[in-house]
Amino acid sequence: MKYLEMNHVKKSFDGLDVLKDISLSVEEGEVVSIIGPSGSGKTTLLRCATLLETMDCGDLAYLGESAAAIVDGRSVYQKPAQLAKIREKFGLVFQNFNLFPHFTVMKNITDAPIHVQKRPKDEVYREARGLLEKMGLADKESAYPCQLSGGQCQRVAIARALALNPRVLFFDEPTSALDPELTGEVLKVIRSLAQMHITMVIVTHEMAFARDISDRVIFMDGGVVALEGTPSEVFESDNPRMREFLGHYARV
């Protein structure tokens, strides 16, 4: 089943065309990585998919439920109540975490399940402890975000997103704000999610990681999908823009 489907997405900011007719679909259990030079529109695409940004044109659906459809060449969105229901289907992990600094780790994770989803407290806490264990943060539940390293914060943010049981989890450069020695711990957690067949869309600059865990890789360039396929198809392609892009990494 298609968990996410976006078609003909266009988005411009003050006359600057950032997304030029992009389509993206993700199957249940699939791990899709999006790579590409900075400014190519990766973040904008994720923000459109997660309803943080409105598309100029394009349709968007989760598990067959439409969030927006094209009418006369423009996107028309569903009513807020319907969009709120669709928001439950996905989660997003931000580059800079966006944890709530005045909440403990535990409250960051449990507050939305309890007060938004209205699930029973003890069940939510039990699940949250399980998540923290998986993230290697079992001893941090009463810490505040300011007492944690960047890598720990990002793992809390991942746990916070997972606690709502999203069908699709998006990551926007989850390790870009971290010191190099801390990226490994976050990538390891994401890898473990892939093994659990959680459906994920990951924007990343970690090429080896993307190649390793993805079922499919999308190379974006200049607001279009320049290349799409299995990791080996994409990374071994002789598309000149892809070769040039990878060249920047080879030189580092």
Ligand X SMILES: Nc1ncnc2c1ncn2[C@@H]1O[C@H](COP(=O)(O)OP(=O)(O)O)[C@@H](O)[C@H]1O
* Span interacting with another protein, options 16-24, 115-123, 128-136, 215-223, rule CB under 8 A: 115-123
Residues 37-66 that bind ligand X (CB under 6 A): 38-44
Q: By rule CB under 8 A, what string of x and - marks binding of each residue 31-70 to another protein? A: -------------------xxx------------------
List 23, 54, 82, 96, residue binding another protein (CB under 8 A): 96
Per partner kind, with CB cut-offs from 5 to 8 A, the member of another protein, ligand X, Mg ion, none near residue 158 is none
Token representation of residue 170: 């998006």
Residue 42 identity (one-letter amino acid) = K
Q: 158 or 207, CB closer to another protein?
A: 158
Using rule CB under 5 A, residue 43 touches Mg ion: yes
* Span interacting with another protein, options 23-31, 159-167, 205-213, 216-224, rule CB under 8 A: 159-167
Residues 166-205 that bind another protein (CB under 8 A): none
Using rule CB under 8 A, residue 121 touches another protein: no
Region of 173 on the Ramachandran plot (φ > 0 left; ψ -120 to 50 alpha; else beta): left
Task: Residue 62: name the closest of 185, 192, 194, 170 by CA.
Answer: 170
Residues near 206 by beta carbon (within 8 Å), at least 6 away in sequence: 175, 183, 187
* Span interacting with another protein, options 5-13, 141-149, 188-196, 233-241, rule CB under 8 A: 141-149
Using rule CB under 8 A, residue 144 touches another protein: yes
CA–CA dist 129, 124 (Å, integer): 9
Q: 15 or 64, CB closer to ligand X?
A: 15
* Span interacting with another protein, options 31-39, 158-166, 186-194, 243-251, rule CB under 8 A: 158-166
Using rule CB under 6 A, residue 18 touches ligand X: yes
Q: Which residues bind ligand X (CB under 6 A)?
A: 13, 18, 36, 38-44
